[in-house]
Amino acid sequence: MIYFLSDAHLGSLAIERGWAHQKKLINMLEMMSKDAVSIYLLGDMFDFWMEYFIHDKKKREYHPFCKELRKLVKQGIHVHVFTGNHDQWTFGGLEKLTGAEVHYSPLTISRYGKTLYLAHGDGLLPRDWESHYPARVRAKIKRYIRLKAIFESPFLQFLFRLLPPQWGNALGYNWAKKSRLKELANPCPFKGENKEELVLFAKDQEKQGNHRDYYVFGHRHIELDFQIASGSRVIILGDTFRQWTYAKLDKHGNISLHNYEE
């Protein structure tokens, strides 16, 4: 069995009882380990992750989760961690802590006779997005693209890593808290086939001849299994802090969404 999950946002200041949240996630991984060949974590497993040049004591908070990933790897399970828009600032430390393979960009894999496109999902847009969306939406997307360019700037990342961890973490976790509280207060449901960016991205990929059987994403915090005209299915994983949803691909190449309950 191959499992997919995303968006735990560990350490979020908007999530009460952070240890209970982390423990439930560990229990979920232990459940998966009973029959897992591979486990893919598709980004934003941490609400904020930055690897500073100075030792960061805050990382101790995540040792149980990281230890669980290392245990899975030692059991022979292939563990893959994708960076998301909240935890993209890893420079080898996360891989060293967990033993998992870390991916910084989308990945296409073939398993059980099916081809899957895997990505966190932030910033993925169809080629014609500027002509597709109204001015208000275009302006919002452009602001996000500019912000993403700032976050991905090697020079600015270098400068941020020079900060004392307590200063950088105060900035990062409080910024992320605002995002989490805004989402919890005003959740954005499925926008529809002609508005949902990740569905439009998948349809555009198919038009270009880049066929995949499944497109699997995190990021949006909605649970979705949507078939597009080409026959491909777009899977959005929900999250693992509120909905506790995940997907699994069985040995026959069938993918399905599930809810985890202890």
Burial class (CB in 10 A: 0-12, 13-18, 19+), 149: exposed
**Closest residue by Cα to residue 172 from 105, 96, 97, 86:** 86
pLDDT at 131: 84
Q: How confident is the model at residue 188 (pLDDT cuts 50, 70, 90)?
A: confident
Q: What angle do CA 177, 181, 182 make, to 5 degrees?
A: 115
Please list the alpha-helical segments (H only) found in the chain: 18-32, 63-74, 93-98, 129-132, 135-151, 154-161, 165-185, 197-207
pLDDT of 20 above 80? yes
> Mapping DSSP to helix (H, G, I), strand (E, B) and coil, where does residue 246 land?
strand
CA dihedral 98, 149, 200, 224 (to 10 degrees): 30
Q: How confident is the model at residue 229 (pLDDT cuts 50, 70, 90)?
A: very high
Mean pLDDT value across residues 106-125: 96
Fold of 2-259: Purple Acid Phosphatase; chain A, domain 2 (3.60.21)
Q: How confident is the model at residue 172 (pLDDT cuts 50, 70, 90)?
A: very high
Query: Cα–Cα distances in Å, from 1 out to 48, 79, 256?
Result: 30, 13, 11
User: How far is 12 from 4, CA to CA, in rounded Å?
Assistant: 21
Fill in the DSSP letter of residue 100.
P
Instruction: Please tell me the pTM assigned to this model.
Output: 0.95
Q: DSSP assignment of 211-237, as one string?
A: --SEEEE-SS--EEEEE-TTS-EEEEE
> Mapping DSSP to helix (H, G, I), strand (E, B) and coil, where does residue 115 land?
strand
> Mapping DSSP to helix (H, G, I), strand (E, B) and coil, where does residue 248 land?
strand
Percent of the chain with pLDDT over 70: 100
Domain spans of the chain, in order of start: 2-259
pLDDT at 212: 97
Query: Cα–Cα distances in Å, from 4 out to 101, 136, 259?
Result: 14, 33, 12
